[in-house]
Chain A
Amino acid sequence: MPELDFPAWIRITHFINIIFISFLIRSGIEILGTHPKLYWNDDSKPGSEWARFTRKVMPRDKLYDTLDEEEDYSSVVSMPGHKQLGLGRHWHFVSVLGWILCGLTYVILLFATAEWHRFWPYSWAVFPQAFKDMVTYLNFDLPPTLPGEPYNALQKLTYGAVVFILAPFQILTGAAQSPALEARFPWYVRMFGGRQWARSLHFVALLAFLVFIVIHVFMVLVHGFGKETAKMIFGDEVYPAAAAIITIAALLGLVVLHWAATKYTLTRPRSTQRILGKVTNNTRRVLLHRLKSRQDYSRADLTPEHRVNGKPPTSNEYKIMAAHNFADYRLEVAGLVERPMTFTLEELRTFPTKQTQRVLHNCVQGWTSIGEWTGVPLRQIVELIRPRPEVRYICFWTMQDSGRDEPSAPGGGQFYEVIDLHLAYQAQTLLAYDMNGGPLPIKHGAPLRLRLETQVGFKMAKWIERIEFLDDYSPIGEGMGGWREDHVYYDKDVGI
């Protein structure tokens, strides 16, 4: 076996890894806080959670939605804190890209040099030796390193497991939470036992990381803070005092970096959304945007009580229209089109093409439910109205006024969402008027809602009253591509 030590690339990637993983953990807690419950079932049935991180009790006699279940965590534990899911997601996705890049660099260099030997258990004897090492630690003693190697047997196996099992597992369970991947490869999410299993396992792996980090740091202290940090700073056990000082300064620098990033994010959210979004949106568009939904869940999979997000319009006009079974409903389809049209609900229901699909709904907050939706494929409407060549986007205007209908929402105005035109041509992009075999319930968007199976739930506008074809969405609202993008800094393209 070649001589193993701590070359510069190991030391540099180790340091960069600390930065990214600390941002990942805090932003992950922010995401968890927006639906602070974990399940082993894809229905996300209230009361069936195996873990909850909230004391909120939901009313039984009034419609509540999952926005009401959000928790407001402190910035000390979450990034950026204070119910900022959109900004937390930006940080999580930027950090994961950096983390994967750093990890790939590490693994490539590990195999390009002889350093991979440090993790390879050459003999079965390593395993009982690792157990003996643990017993030695528990007896407040230090086990010896393996002959000619930088680690003892327990370290060798633990570090190897973190690099080659835990980290890839965390990436795979994270990817399994992407609606675009789930929709295109339903077998992938089923491999983990379902979407909520993937989310729960992602959390369990986070706990494993936290336990590892705590023990790892504790062991550095036990083995000798200066001596051990010297290996990661100078590559050898030299200048322990200087190493200790540099390490403490670096850790303080990390705290300052987190503080500055959090402060900037909370005080300049729009600019954070734009800067981080540039990195994540381009990656998402390349990796996920062209994936097409191929879901077909069975009737037995349907969620008995599909969860809800968003509250119905409270205008008198809407209530009267609903009392009359939406007989006065009109869907206006206009904008940059050759043939603007208006449809009654009856016309939509008797459209020549009627499509039904049973699919997994992914809320941006993390919960899921499985529903059956029936309606008109959006591409049929698009073909009828004939968009002009310059059209690139479709805006769905709804009857919901967020300020009036969703008092906990930050900001008001008519709710709208914008999607790319090409998504309208996907086979499972639907204007749904039925759900689970009956008329679409009011709480799920009656009389008409969008189903866009490769995106997270908030893009699927409910209570739609107007569809507008656009060449540019920047003049609408704050110009970010939707009400949630404008007001809560979500990303416009949400394949994950």
Chain B
Amino acid sequence: MIIRENTELTEYQRRRVLERVEERNFTCARCGSGDFEVGEALGMGFLFLDEEHGTYMVALTCENPGCGSPRTGIRLHRSEFLWDE
């Protein structure tokens, strides 16, 4: 099941997300790992009062098999990842 508000990302867009993860030194809050699988992106600007237009929560799943809470997310602006080649 994919909720209506989520956008599926292309392989190219997923790579852009991983580049932003690396740039920001984003790590898993539970285990500290920096390896993630990229999932879908939730558009937040319209839905949430506290979010600016064009902001997304991109789903990341920690690839550390021992991680106790692997599902996390990174907040990105659409200009940072949502374009194609």
Contact = CB atoms under 8 A, between A and B. Distances in A.
B53 interface: yes
B4 A323 contact: no
Given A349-B1, A439-B4, A442-B5, A324 B46 contact: no
Contacts of B58: 323
B41 A323 contact: yes
A307 to B, nearest CB: 15
Contacts of B4: 438-439, 441
A414 interface: no
Nearest to B44: A319
Interface residues of B, number: 26
A323 B1 contact: no
A449 to B, nearest CB: 14
A328 interface: yes
Contacts of B51: 314
A420 B78 CA distance: 46
A446 B1 CA distance: 13
Nearest to A446: B3
Given A319-B44, A320-B59, A314 B2 contact: no
B57 A314 contact: no
B20 to A, nearest CB: 15
Interface in B30-75: 39-42, 44-51, 53, 57-59, 61, 71-73
A268 interface: no
A325 interface: yes
Given A312-B48, A320-B59, A325 B6 contact: yes
B57 A319 contact: yes
B47 A443 contact: yes
B49 A324 contact: no
B53 to A, nearest CB: 7
A405 B49 contact: yes
Contacts of A3: none
Contact of B49 (A322, A325, A407): A407
A90 interface: no
A320 B46 contact: no
B58 to A, nearest CB: 7
Contact of A324 (B39, B44, B45, B50): B39
Contacts of A407: 49
B53 A325 contact: no
Given A325-B1, A442-B5, A447-B3, 4 more contacts: A61-B53, A319-B48, A323-B73, A443-B47
Interface of B: 1-6, 39-42, 44-51, 53, 57-59, 61, 71-73
23 contacts: A62-B45, A63-B48, A311-B48, A312-B47, A319-B42, A319-B44, A319-B73, A320-B57, A320-B72, A322-B3, A322-B5, A322-B6, A323-B6, A323-B58, A324-B40, A325-B2, A326-B3, A327-B71, A345-B1, A405-B49, A407-B49, A441-B3, A441-B5
